[in-house]
Structure 1
Amino acid sequence: MKHPFENLVTKTGPKNGFHIEHILSRNEENLKLFNEDEDTFEQERNRLGGILLLKGKDNISSGNESYLQKLKSYNNTLYWNETLREDFYKSKLDIRNFKNKYSLDEMIPLSTKFGPDELESRQRLLFKMIKIIWN
């Protein structure tokens, strides 16, 4: 792990704390992905597959950027965040072996877009990984 588990759940504040990051920013582009239905958009963007943890002010700095811009902010953060990025998978044999061992077909970079289908895929991946950990 890049950070001890304790830090993820106990550190607070703008400098050293971890904060929830919505992959789907509140902007017109993302709202259109959900037929401009505010309730559906809010419900979907808050699913576990659609949120990350970012340290310090990184969350604030990414603001309401487009997904492609946000991807840059996820570089060199927590491994879960980095799984969205194509460059994360380069030369990572442990990740490739983990993915193959547990048939995690959804563990792929999402480097071109993030919408309802990608959110659903990410949600399934997260729950598969939780089952692995808890079994």
Structure 2
Amino acid sequence: MERVFFTLGALFAFAGVAAGAFGAHSLKSRLNTEMLLVFEVGVRYQMYHAFALIAAAWVQAKWPSALGTCGAWFFVAGILLFSGSLYLMSLSGLRWLGAITPLGGVAFLVGWVCLALAVWRG
């Protein structure tokens, strides 16, 4: 699983850099300041958790466990729900998508707890 998580982390980081560049260069003139900031928060958290996936891959290589695997999948879910909802909300203007964002935040928190427990018990 460590290869899967490392690969996903690298791909999410790649996509985060691309999204950041897209936001800075293409969206600056198209979105209002508030929605541009929302988009940037999505990019920031995607990047943080892309690196968290790479850390989870290392944890799985050193201390393999179901908790480490769960933590990594929670990071994936968090990126999709948290960052994805912010991207969609900022691009579409559909504010109700903001109701999905906290689910991604909870997934991030659960992922970090799982990762910490995996190392602690490892």
Q: Same fold (TM over 0.5)?
A: no
TM-score class normalised by the smaller sequence: 0.3 to 0.5
TM-score if structure 1 supplies the norm length? 0.32
Answer 1 or 2: higher relative contact order, Cα 8 Å, separation at least 6: 2
Name the structure with the higher helix share. 2
